Structure 1
Amino acid sequence: MNSMPTSSNSPADSVPGQEERSLFANFRLVSLMTLLSRSLGLVRDMGMAMLFGNGPIMDAFSIAFRIPNLARRLFGEGALSTAFLPAFVREREQQGLTSAWRLVTATLIWLTQFLSGVTVVGLVLLLGFYLAGFNSPEYQLLLGLTAIMLPYLLLICLVAQISAVMHAQNRFGWPAFSPLILNGMWIVTIWCIAPWWSSPESQVYVMAVSILFAGVVQLFCVLLPLYRQGYQYTADWRESKADVRTVVRSMVPILIGLSIAQINAVSDSLIAWGFSAPEVISNPSDTLLNTAWQVRYPLESGTASALYFGQRLFQFPLGLFGLALGTVLYPLMARHAETGRHDLLQSTLLLGLKQVIGIGFPASVGMMILAGPITRLLFEYGQFTSEDGLQTAQMIAAYGAAVWSSCALLILHRGFYAMGDRMTPLYVGLQMVLLNLLLNFSLIWVWQGVGLAISTAICAAIQVVLIIRKFENQIGKLNRSELGLTLLKTSIAVTAMGTVCGGLLFVLPPSDHFTQRLWNVMLPLLAAIVVYFVAAWLLKMDFLWSLFTREPKSELDS
């Protein structure tokens, strides 16, 4: 895109150079920490696959961990920053830092009380399920693991809240480092602690306890820096109750809107677990979901585990690119919306969508092509068999189709939040929850477990189309011809990339040795990256390079 001179009264020019440099420095810091955390997450998943394989133990663990993990994403993936930060900054600027710390204290106390109540109610329900006669080994394991990890919900949400306060103080280091603590302790437990127990059931309980302990360490690692920033407990925190209620009211629709994908992921896992045939079959009737109607289980054992591993791989490019891009563009969109410059807001959104096409689309295709080699490299060791690998690779490929659309939704949702519209993403997202459930219960009878992942990809693509239309109704039509040209050029580059990547996979020999498996992933991956960016350069896809420059201001304001 040819940049034009920016007017002197452009909102982008109102940002001081030092503040802008700080923004990109923080972006690089968060991106680096995200890369390290996701890399450690892959290592931990490799360890879990080696230790438990795909089966009822890993199924139960993945379901039990999803409950606190869902809470982490609900409170930590943008909702707290979006709802709490404006209130904190406004209080600090208008009433002073003492009043702002009072708001922090009131919010932390309310959050502790609320989540403690949720935890207690959850533990009572689990006890009720146990007393109601859910005494099969699979149910007992699921209930026990859930009971152990449920308090992690409180710990990790407090970590997210404190991190939001530190973000408002322009401190990003410790909040970004916090996930590394969990993954690091998880990995240490897999290789150094769990092997001291002989049975897989005991080992998986040890893993659950280690996660709870890691939550305590995470909390202290953000709480102590907060005190060093000057935070002080204020006994008169009740005076900020009205402000807390305002934050909560604005947070609720944002929480739900941002977490539609997580709600769908949990429902997918529950369906996978409930509709999977038992691993051990003692008589032919065990293969029947409904004996009277002779209906067989549509899914095989280990489907929930394959979903878990597939979603973990799916989150890797989504976190590195989608969340990072949303972090950079959201302040710009918020500033343009605040000053009423809908033309600049439209340009920023257009740039974000072009980046999603230019980066997210090839990421989707690459993930689909390399699903098999990635699975063999990361997971096919120990108890994780080749059959487990095939099942997981299918999940990774299906989820890969949703990378571009999920990245687009991260940008589009923030566009609505920048304009103060919290309800439109919520309404559209709730429609997608219903559609996802309908597709889930339909596709599992056609494509078995991979149908759950395909349903997610379909719903994400439909949601992108609906959200764009809603956005255009508010700020006007986007430049469809520019988006179309971007899609055409990207398709040509991706075709060249896919041809080279697939050709290398065809000639590289399969192997059980780690070095050859690594080579089978890295050579096609590096070749695909080089071919794609060379093709992008030849096709003059100049918008791609703005993502790597220090000040993409001219692109946004052209």
Structure 2
Amino acid sequence: MGAPAAAAPVRMARALWISAATMASRVLGLVRDQLFAALVGANVFSDAYIAAFRIPNLLRDLFAEGALSAAFVPTFADYQRNRGQGEAFRLANLVLGLIVVVVGALTLVGVLLAPQVVALVAPGFSEQWELTVLLTRIMMPFLLLVSLSAAVMGMLNAQSRFTAPAIAPALFNVGSIAVGLGLWAAGAGPVKAVVGWSAGTLLGGLLQLLAQWPSLRATGFRFRPRLAGARREPGVRRIGRLMAAAVVGLSATQVNIVVNTIFASHQRGAVSWLNFAFRLMQFPLGVFGVAIATVAGAGVAQKAAARDLPAVKDTLGSALRMVAFLNVPSAVGLMVLAEPIIALIYQHGRFGAADTAATAQALLFYAIGLYAYSGVKVFAPAFYALDEARVPVLGSFLGMAANVALNVTLYPVLGFRGVALGTSLAATVNFAVLVVAWRRRHGGLGGAGIGPQLARVLLASAALAGTAWGAHAWLAGALRWHGLARQLALAFVPIAAAAAVYLVAARLLGVRELSDFAGAVRRRRGRPPVRA
């Protein structure tokens, strides 16, 4: 009893527009990573930068783009719907004032205690320890910049202004690329490269914040941060309560990352291999999963504020079907073509063939969890919007427990590959908990069944896998070219052939989201962009 495609609760056209904007950012992110790999390689210097950046980045994921977004967006949407824009903007200024004070203090603590933090996160580091401490101190202010950016992003998304938040991360990458090109032109060695790159990270964080400001001002908002009355404001108390639950829940994810880094720090280059692989896995996660979760999350927040549970269920069902349609074939493609994709993107400069092989092995195991990662991003905000924060907290903690147990079990056998596999299986545990809890509390989801659609997508993805493997094997034996031309052919020809076969198979199997996708592309051509 599914609704017609044109009436899908998560509008494919809007998600497609955000995916396009996010793809631009992700492509720039790959260019950024490619330049970093060529400048530095995969060694103790790259390990030092990645571990140092992970410290403020973990706090960003935990407090800013994690707990704050999950708590702030539904509260702001509720204020705007039920109290008016003026009250919503007053709440936002209270939140911004608290961010400046609290996150500013946390940033200062991070600078002062950098040696202790590095010793905790990367106990296996020895020769790169001092460099990691220095880079950590340089990049800690990044946390304040992205915390403010996350609050601005939440305000814009809650008002259905998606373009500027989707484009803003691209500016982060632009700043880093500009600095990286300067370092390349100057012939910087690995140490100077990572120090300069850390400064470029701060520049990118500032650009990410500034890129969203014109769109926010266009809504009528004026930045007047304040603290007076914050403790008595019901919205602030609600945000604090939801953030406390979200921090507890999301801390499990961050603990997973810390645990992974602790294990990987004992193997030279492993921190870098895992990071490059995870970044590639995040490409489809960001382009498709995050775009769908952004649109679905805003819709769920608005419908939850209106107490319309059937509409919430329709939105989630539509979002999960889109996630399967787009991210399952992406995961399969990454697993089959991991090595030629990594060779094309990273194997330049100081990044060698051995690094490509190791990163490809990590990517294969990370890609296993791509659907679960995307599903969690769609499902978890729905529980927060419905004020059922204990469910995602439980899911995160069970995922964390699974990750720790799997790392302890798999690392002695598989090394860094066991870290990647454990991460994927832990994400699957988290997603399974959310699915089971939703069914017990609220029943099924709106629209056509998730299970039958997923089965059809898996069949179409099997056809994709066979095509990709066959095309690559034939080209590898037939091509007599060398260098970049060979890398391009070995990556893009199998990708194009596999994508075509997947679309044909999806059509033959009756995957409805294919029609939604095609219709959205046609409508997008004749439509003005989504509001900035």
- Of the structure 1 ranges 30-39 and 444-453, higher mean CA displacement relative to structure 2 is found in 30-39
Q: 2:246 aligns with which of 239, 254, 263?
A: 254
In structure 1, runs of 5+ residues without a counterpart are: 7-11, 277-300, 552-558
Query: TM-score by structure 1 length?
Result: 0.83
Describe the shift of the 1:131–1:534 C-alpha distance in structure 2 as closer, same or farther (beyond 3 A).
closer
Match of 1:83 in 2: 71
Letter paired with 1:521 = A
Deviation, 1:174, is 3.1
Deviation, 1:493, is 1.8
Superposed, 1:69-468 pairs within 5 Å as 69-77=57-65, 79-92=67-80, 97-126=85-114, 137-196=127-186, 198-223=188-213, 225-227=215-217, 229-234=219-224, 237-243=227-233, 244-257=236-249, 260-273=252-265, 275-276=266-267, 301-334=268-301, 337=304, 342-343=309-310, 345-468=312-435
Q: 1:508 aligns with which of 469, 472, 475?
A: 475
Deviation, 1:393, is 0.6
- Of the structure 1 ranges 382-391 and 411-420, higher mean CA displacement relative to structure 2 is found in 411-420
Distance in 1 (alpha carbons) for counterparts of 2:409 and 2:244:
31
Deviation, 1:477, is 5.0
Which structure ranks higher in relative contact order (CA pairs < 8 Å, sequence separation ≥ 6)? 2
Q: 2:53 aligns with which of 47, 65, 71?
A: 65
Pair 1:541 & 2:508 matched: no
Deviation, 1:215, is 2.4
After superposition, the CA RMSD in angstroms is 3.2
Match of 2:39 in 1: 51
Distance in 1 (alpha carbons) for counterparts of 2:318 and 2:87:
39
Give % identity.
31
In structure 2, runs of 5+ residues without a counterpart are: 522-532
Distance in 2 (alpha carbons) for counterparts of 1:131 and 1:43:
31
Larger radius of gyration: 1
Distance in 2 (alpha carbons) for counterparts of 1:101 and 1:339:
20
Are the aligned partners of 2:369 and 2:424 in contact in 1 as well (CA < 8 Å)? yes
Are the aligned partners of 1:195 and 1:203 in contact in 2 as well (CA < 8 Å)? no
Match of 2:487 in 1: 517
Describe the shift of the 1:387–1:57 C-alpha distance in structure 2 as closer, same or farther (beyond 3 A).
same
- Of the structure 1 ranges 135-144 and 71-80, higher mean CA displacement relative to structure 2 is found in 71-80
Distance in 2 (alpha carbons) for counterparts of 1:39 and 1:170:
24
Describe the shift of the 1:180–1:391 C-alpha distance in structure 2 as closer, same or farther (beyond 3 A).
same
Are the aligned partners of 2:335 and 2:364 in contact in 1 as well (CA < 8 Å)? yes
Are the aligned partners of 1:71 and 1:157 in contact in 2 as well (CA < 8 Å)? no
Distance in 2 (alpha carbons) for counterparts of 1:399 and 1:92:
40
Any idea what SS the aligned residue of 1:408 has?
Answer: helix
Describe the shift of the 1:314–1:266 C-alpha distance in structure 2 as closer, same or farther (beyond 3 A).
farther
Distance in 2 (alpha carbons) for counterparts of 1:375 and 1:235:
45
Any idea what SS the aligned residue of 2:460 has?
Answer: helix
- Of the structure 1 ranges 533-542 and 232-241, higher mean CA displacement relative to structure 2 is found in 232-241
Deviation, 1:25, is 6.6
Letter paired with 1:60 = A
Task: Count the aligned residue pairs.
Answer: 513
Describe the shift of the 1:130–1:490 C-alpha distance in structure 2 as closer, same or farther (beyond 3 A).
closer
Letter paired with 1:474 = R
Match of 1:472 in 2: 439
| 1:89-144, Cα deviation, whole Å (9 max, x unpaired) | 44456655544433222211111111111112112212568999x99541101101
Letter paired with 1:218 = Q
Describe the shift of the 1:47–1:161 C-alpha distance in structure 2 as closer, same or farther (beyond 3 A).
same
Deviation, 1:507, is 1.1
Describe the shift of the 1:226–1:324 C-alpha distance in structure 2 as closer, same or farther (beyond 3 A).
closer
Deviation, 1:321, is 1.2
Are the aligned partners of 1:194 and 1:206 in contact in 2 as well (CA < 8 Å)? no
Distance in 1 (alpha carbons) for counterparts of 2:157 and 2:310:
28
Any idea what SS the aligned residue of 2:375 has?
Answer: helix
Any idea what SS the aligned residue of 1:508 has?
Answer: helix
| 1:482-523, Cα deviation, whole Å (9 max, x unpaired) | 444334433332222211110111111276411221111111
Deviation, 1:329, is 2.9
Distance in 2 (alpha carbons) for counterparts of 1:347 and 1:131:
47
Distance in 1 (alpha carbons) for counterparts of 2:102 and 2:20:
33
Superposed, 1:9-48 pairs within 5 Å as 27-48=15-36
